[in-house]
């Protein structure tokens, strides 16, 4: 019986353990987690979501305070179109996080950055260009384009000196999305170096509608693999979403996957950014504690624990401090939902907003507990302490369990 370690992921001159730890927004996939994946010979991701905020927390900068100061006059205003990010500061925050992470890298693995198109930041094209460029300038090994079709993203960076040397990949959830991306990117004369095929059991935002239960990863993966073969396109495919054991991974590797992307099992590791008390909620979740809902103002369905404080929260939109989901006109679906509730309850001190959430604030505060469908199996991956809590694992333990386990087994910590 094969193990993941019997396979290697070849990307250019790199021979990697075929395990990629997926990007998890707003510093859930921390630098520390990505560094462990790289040290162990795989691929780790940092995320570029809300990096000014992340930088404040990690490196004692004051981006959020200063931005709020600058736009304080607008806090009570429903029109957020004046709230703009300073492109120089976005570049600076991205540069610091990427540079510091890359400087700390040890081992033969790689560190990529997960870059979400849906973080439109009031100026979708310009802010995305700056984020991509700053990551490349500061030595990132690769960029995974996520949460969006990214039809123009290669075009935004085609003049960058590293455009052909940095590893560029995209996450898709259908053959159609991949075909569109390849068609639109063809003009740049460059193929993606890898494609992550993300199925409906993943954490974070889903590339499916609320009919997600009708899809399955193995079928989408096979469809994309067969089409690429037909087209004689040799692009490494990396399935993701619900790959919970080493044996699950081997099944895909035997079907022609070049590697696997995994995330949920790493949410309960020391290196993960989730606070320890939140990690206990992940460990203790049962299957019916998890839902896919539509409260994300991005318009994509999102999977999360039903007990997430973000659900039903009616806080005032925090766009002057954050504003990462404002579209080019300064709109966000949460602002509309919030204003509707305020208008309906003019006397209320606090309103409840149940159809949308202020995702910036709640992701920033680790109050939106997004998770993969198999979060309810995390309790089978650790041991219980005397106080009833589960033992937090090391990223190395989880990584090696994927790498070496057989027969669907999961190694418990000793
Ligand atoms: C807590 C959490 C946060 C996530 N955030 C992001 C994100 O910011 N961007 C993204 O592209 N994918 C995100 N994902 C998806 C993962 O990168 C990954 O593709 C997927 O969850 C793999 O499936 P698994 O969790 O079942 O292993 C997130 C997943 C989790 C569990």
For 212-223, the pLDDT digits (tens) are 999 999 999 999
The predicted pLDDT at position 350 comes to: 93
Query: What is d(CA 296, CA 207) in angstroms, rounded to the nearest whole number?
Result: 13
The CATH number corresponding to 4-274+387-404 among 3.40.50.150, 3.40.830.10, 3.20.20.70, 3.40.1350.10 equals 3.20.20.70
Residue nearest to atom 14 of ligand 1 (CA): 204
Q: State both tokens at 277.
A: 């008390």
- Nearest of 87, 85, 51, 92 to residue 66 by alpha carbon: 85
Q: What is the pLDDT of residues 342-386, one digit of tens each?
A: 999 999 999 999 999 999 999 999 999 999 999 999 999 999 999
Q: State both tokens at 139.
A: 């030595």
Q: How many CA atoms lie within 13 A of 318 on its CB side?
A: 18
State which ligand 1 atom lies nearest to the alpha carbon of 147: 11
- Tell me what percent of the chain is helix, strand and coil, each rounded to the nearest 5: 40, 15, 45
211 DSSP 8-state letter: T
Task: Give distance in angstroms: CA of 202 to centre of ligand 1.
Answer: 6
State which ligand 1 atom lies nearest to the alpha carbon of 23: 17
Q: Strands 194-198 and 167-172, how do they pair?
A: parallel
Q: Which residues face 10 on adjacent strands?
A: 15
Task: Give distance in angstroms: CA of 329 to centre of ligand 1.
Answer: 28
pTM, whole model, 2 decimals? 0.98
Apex 319 CA angle, 359 and 32, nearest 5:
55
Q: Which residue has the tokens 């990214």?
A: 150
Q: Domain spans of the chain?
A: 4-274+387-404
Four-residue CA torsion sign, 348, 354, 356, 362: positive
The predicted pLDDT at position 319 comes to: 97
Q: Which residue has the tokens 């606090």?
A: 350
| Residues written for the chain | 414
Q: What is the pLDDT of residues 54-110, one digit of tens each?
A: 999 999 999 999 999 999 999 999 899 999 999 999 999 999 999 999 999 999 999
Q: Is residue 44 classed as helix, strand or coil in its secondary structure?
A: strand
Helix (H) or strand (E) holding 250: helix 246-254
CB 129 within 8 A of CB 83: no
Calculate the average pLDDT of the chain.
Answer: 97
56 Cβ neighbours under 8 A, 6+ residues apart:
62, 63, 64, 65
CB 376 within 8 A of CB 287: yes
Task: Give distance in angstroms: CA of 366 to centre of ligand 1.
Answer: 14
CA distances from 115 to 118, 178, 384 (A): 9, 17, 36
Q: Which residues face 170 on adjacent strands?
A: 145, 195
Task: Give distance in angstroms: CA of 114 to centre of ligand 1.
Answer: 10
Helix (H) or strand (E) holding 54: helix 51-59
71 DSSP 8-state letter: H
- Nearest of 367, 296, 298, 324 to residue 67 by alpha carbon: 324
**Residues framing ligand 1 (Cβ under 6 A):** 22-25, 28, 47, 49, 114, 116, 146-147, 171, 198, 201-204, 240-243, 261-264, 267, 370-372, 374
Residue 300 pLDDT grade (very low, low, confident, very high; cuts 50, 70, 90): very high
Residue 148 pLDDT grade (very low, low, confident, very high; cuts 50, 70, 90): very high
Q: What is the pLDDT of residues 256-296, one digit of tens each?
A: 999 999 999 999 999 999 999 999 999 999 999 999 999 99
Q: Strands 204-205 and 302-305, how do they pair?
A: antiparallel
209 DSSP 8-state letter: -
Alpha helices in 60-193 (DSSP H): 63-71, 87-103, 124-137, 153-157, 175-185
């Amino acid at each position: 019986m094969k193990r993941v370690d019997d396979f290697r992921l070849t990307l250019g001159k790199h021979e990697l353990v075929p395990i990629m730890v997926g990007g998890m927004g707003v510093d859930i996939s921390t630098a520390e987690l990505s560094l462990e994946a790289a040290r162990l010979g795989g691929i780790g991701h940092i995320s570029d979501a809300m990096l000014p905020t992340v930088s404040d927390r990690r490196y004692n900068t004051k981006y959020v305070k200063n931005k709020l100061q600058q736009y304080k006059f607008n806090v009570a205003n429903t029109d957020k179109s004046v709230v703009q990010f300073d492109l120089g500061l976005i570049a600076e925050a991205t540069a610091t996080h990427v540079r510091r992470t890359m400087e700390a890298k040890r081992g033969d693995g790689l560190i990529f950055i997960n870059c979400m198109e849906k973080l439109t930041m009031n100026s979708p094209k310009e802010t995305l260009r700056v984020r991509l460029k700053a990551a490349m300038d500061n030595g990132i090994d690769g960029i995974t384009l996520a949460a969006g079709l990214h039809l123009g993203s290669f075009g935004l960076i085609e003049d960058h000196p590293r455009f052909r040397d940095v590893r560029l990949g995209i996450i898709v959830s259908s053959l159609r999305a991949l075909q569109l991306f390849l068609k639109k990117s063809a003009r740049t004369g460059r193929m993606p170096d890898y494609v992550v095929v993300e199925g409906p059991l993943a954490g974070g935002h889903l590339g499916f509608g609320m009919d997600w239960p009708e899809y399955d990863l193995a079928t989408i993966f096979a469809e994309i693999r067969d089409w690429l073969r037909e087209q004689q396109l040799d692009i490494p495919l990396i399935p993701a979403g619900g790959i919970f054991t080493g044996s699950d991974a081997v099944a895909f590797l035997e079907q022609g996957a070049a590697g696997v992307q995994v995330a949920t099992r790493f949410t309960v590791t020391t290196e993960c950014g989730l606070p320890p008390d939140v990690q206990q909620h992940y460990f203790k979740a049962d299957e019916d504690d998890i839902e896919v809902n539509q409260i994300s103002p991005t318009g994509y369905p999102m999977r999360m624990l039903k007990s997430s404080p973000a659900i039903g929260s009616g806080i005032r939109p925090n766009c002057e401090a954050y504003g990462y989901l404002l579209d080019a006109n300064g709109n966000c679906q949460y602002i509309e939902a919030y204003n509707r509730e305020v208008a309906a309850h003019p006397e209320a001190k606090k309103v409840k907003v149940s159809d949308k959430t202020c995702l910036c604030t709640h992701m920033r505060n680790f109050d939106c507990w997004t998770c993969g469908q198999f979060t309810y199996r995390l309790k089978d991956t650790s041991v219980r302490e005397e106080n009833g809590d589960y033992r937090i694992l090391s990223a190395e333990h989880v990584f090696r369990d994927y790498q070496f386990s057989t027969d669907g087994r999961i190694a418990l910590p000793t």
